[in-house]
Amino acid sequence: MDETGSPMVEEGLLIGLAIMIFIAILAIISDLLKWINDLYQQISNNPSLLFSLPFQIVLETNTTLDDYINSWTKLPIKAIEWLKEIFTIIVYMAGIIGGIMIVWGAIEWATGYDDSRGKKNIIRGAVLMLIALAPTFIVY
């Protein structure tokens, strides 16, 4: 025997991986739709949010120079909010990619396709998952 895994095991693991990726994509789409719905609700309740960015001039006739300067002072707060959103997306991507690497490495290792690379992929995926979970361990 050449110590390779059964094709049935490989197919089963690949089907499991496909199901996990499908569920992850559905979760991401669901979160995006929820975010768009929440944003729509906020804008429909307060239409002036569309013009709340500091670099846009508010469409009012009584806008003063103080209003314009105060809107520029809010720019760092908006930038921090955008950075938080970008960081959250990066953390989600690291978690998803880490999970895929763990499953893919397990498939490689279990089927005997490439034992050493499979083990390395499992370790790399676990490290990515740990990095993705690191912000949850920070205590303020």
What's the whole-number mean pLDDT along residues 112-123?
81
DSSP letter at 53 equals: S
CB 117 within 8 A of CB 108: yes
Q: By CB neighbour count within 10 A (0-12 exposed, 13-18 middle, 19+ buried), where does 98 fall?
A: buried
**What's the pLDDT score for residue 56?**
45
Average pLDDT, the chain: 76
Token pair 């094709």: residue: 7
DSSP letter at 59 equals: S
**What's the pLDDT score for residue 38?**
81
Token pair 């508010």: residue: 58
Could you state, in order of their start, the residue ranges of all structural domains in the chain?
Answer: 7-135
pLDDT tens for each residue of 57-94: 444 456 666 776 777 777 778 788 888 888 888 888 88
> 140 or 64: which carries more pLDDT confidence?
64
pTM: 0.47
What does the DSSP assignment read for 93-134? HHHHHHHHHHHHHHHHHHHTS-HHHHHHHHHHHHHHHHHHHH
The number of residues in the chain equals: 140
**What's the pLDDT score for residue 140?**
52
**What's the pLDDT score for residue 60?**
47
pLDDT tens for each residue of 12-21: 777 787 788 7
What's the whole-number mean pLDDT along residues 42-49?
73
